[in-house]
């Protein structure tokens, strides 16, 4: 069984050169592109995408997903705006050579009576991605409709082509039980975002309540772990002295090392760009 490591490289550096260096130094050959040079992926032009794509390829880095903000808007946002964004992202995905676009399920204050509206507004976005052969990979982000387990289950039932990313930290921050979410969604995930949390605070993988070690033990298939550090407010402490948490790169290196440590402790061996389960 193999796990390929990916990362939101904009948390390792702002420029594409800094991002490539952060990835290569940590032995990561996949990237989830969210922003480059401070510009969100949804705002990047096709010409810029061609330039960035060539640089990633030259460095031996594959674009796994576009970490887009698709449907990360209020439920009353006109759907035409999100449809235009979806079409642009599909064109970028073709340039970057990926079949995955990360997306969301709308902000709504009262989700219990918004099922029909959310599904209706997501369907045309799914249709655009489906037509272009792209996966809509839904992230269970906090404060959005699909951020809670019971609503995410509704979405997956109502929209068969919707893929789900399992983000363990987001579930913790939303007040969900990791035992419940692991049992319900880990096996359905198209890939995983790797960050941990205790209460409302994001911490390195293995140092929170998200039971990432149990997630690793439950795996029964090849998959991708996309590292999303989010350690802006983590101060470190004993055992973290070598990382400078005042810098992007220090936080990024810590996040990468933390998940590698968990994988190693659970019987995985690091190879060239991936981890393989040591069955012996």
Averaged pLDDT, 160-187: 97
Averaged pLDDT, 130-135: 98
The third-level CATH classification (topology) of the domain covering 2-268 is TIM Barrel (3.20.20)
- Look up residue 107 and give its two tokens: 């902000």
Mean pLDDT of the chain: 96
Handedness of CA 231, 236, 242, 245 (dihedral sign): positive
Share of the chain above pLDDT 90, in %: 95
Asked whether residue 278 carries a pLDDT value surpassing 80, the answer given is no
pLDDT score recorded for residue 90 = 98
The length of the chain in residues reads 280
- Closest by CA position to 108, among listed 69, 136, 138, 148: 148
Handedness of CA 102, 9, 221, 184 (dihedral sign): negative
d(CA 172, CA 211): 10
Report the run of H or E that residue 193 belongs to, with start and end. Answer: strand 191-194
What ranges in the chain are assigned the alpha helix state H? 16-25, 46-58, 79-96, 115-131, 149-158, 168-173, 178-185, 212-218, 248-265
Query: Does residue 39 contact residue 13 with C-beta atoms inside 8 Å?
Result: no
Query: Domain map of the chain by residue range?
Result: 2-268
d(CA 82, CA 127): 12
Asked whether residue 167 carries a pLDDT value surpassing 90, the answer given is yes
Share of the chain above pLDDT 70, in %: 99
d(CA 144, CA 108): 6
With a CB cutoff of 8 Å and minimum separation 6, the contacts of 182 are 168, 211, 214, 215, 218
Lowest mean pLDDT among 37-51, 105-119, 211-225, 260-274: 105-119
Query: Does residue 39 contact residue 10 with C-beta atoms inside 8 Å?
Result: no
Asked whether residue 110 carries a pLDDT value surpassing 90, the answer given is no
Q: How far is CA 221 from the centre of its chain?
A: 18
pLDDT score recorded for residue 273 = 84
pLDDT score recorded for residue 272 = 87
| φ and ψ of 41, to 5 deg | -55, -35
Averaged pLDDT, 183-204: 97
d(CA 182, CA 219): 11
d(CA 205, CA 68): 23
pLDDT score recorded for residue 218 = 96
204: pLDDT confidence band, cut at 50, 70 and 90?
very high
Residue 265 DSSP one-character state: H
Instruction: Specify whether the backbone of 97 is left (phi greater than 0), alpha (psi in -120 to 50) or beta.
Output: left
Tokens 């906090």 belong to which residue? 142
In tens, the pLDDT along 55-90 reads 999 999 999 999 999 999 999 999 999 999 999 999
pLDDT score recorded for residue 280 = 56
Asked whether residue 43 carries a pLDDT value surpassing 90, the answer given is yes
């Amino acid at each position: 069984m193999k796990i390929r490591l990916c990362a939101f490289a904009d948390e390792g550096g702002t420029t594409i050169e800094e991002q490539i260096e952060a990835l290569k130094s940590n032995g990561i050959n996949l990237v989830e592109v969210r922003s480059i040079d401070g510009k969100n992926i949804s705002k990047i032009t096709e010409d810029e995408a061609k330039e960035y794509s060539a640089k990633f390829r030259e460095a031996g880095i594959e674009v796994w997903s576009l970490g887009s903000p698709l449907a990360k808007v209020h439920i009353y946002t006109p759907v035409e705006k999100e449809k235009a964004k979806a079409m642009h992202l599909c064109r970028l995905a073709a340039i970057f050579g990926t079949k995955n676009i990360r997306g969301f399920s709308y902000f709504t204050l009262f989700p219990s009576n918004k099922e029909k509206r959310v599904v209706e507004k997501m369907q045309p976005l799914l249709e655009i991605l489906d037509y272009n052969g792209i996966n809509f990979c839904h992230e269970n982000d906090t404060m959005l409709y699909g951020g809670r387990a019971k609503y995410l289950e509704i979405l997956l039932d109502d929209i068969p082509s919707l893929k789900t990313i399992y983000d363990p930290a987001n579930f913790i921050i939303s007040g969900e039980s990791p035992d419940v979410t692991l049992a319900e969604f880990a096996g359905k995930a198209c890939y995983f975002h790797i960050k941990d949390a205790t209460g409302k605070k994001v911490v390195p993988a293995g140092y929170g309540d998200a039971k990432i070690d149990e997630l690793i033990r439950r795996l029964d298939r090849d998959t991708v772990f996309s590292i999303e550090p989010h350690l802006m407010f983590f101060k470190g402490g004993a055992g973290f002295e070598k990382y400078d948490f005042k810098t992007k790169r220090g936080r990024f290196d810590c996040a990468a090392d933390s998940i590698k440590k968990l994988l190693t402790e659970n019987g995985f061996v690091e190879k060239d760009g991936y981890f393989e389960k040591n069955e012996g």
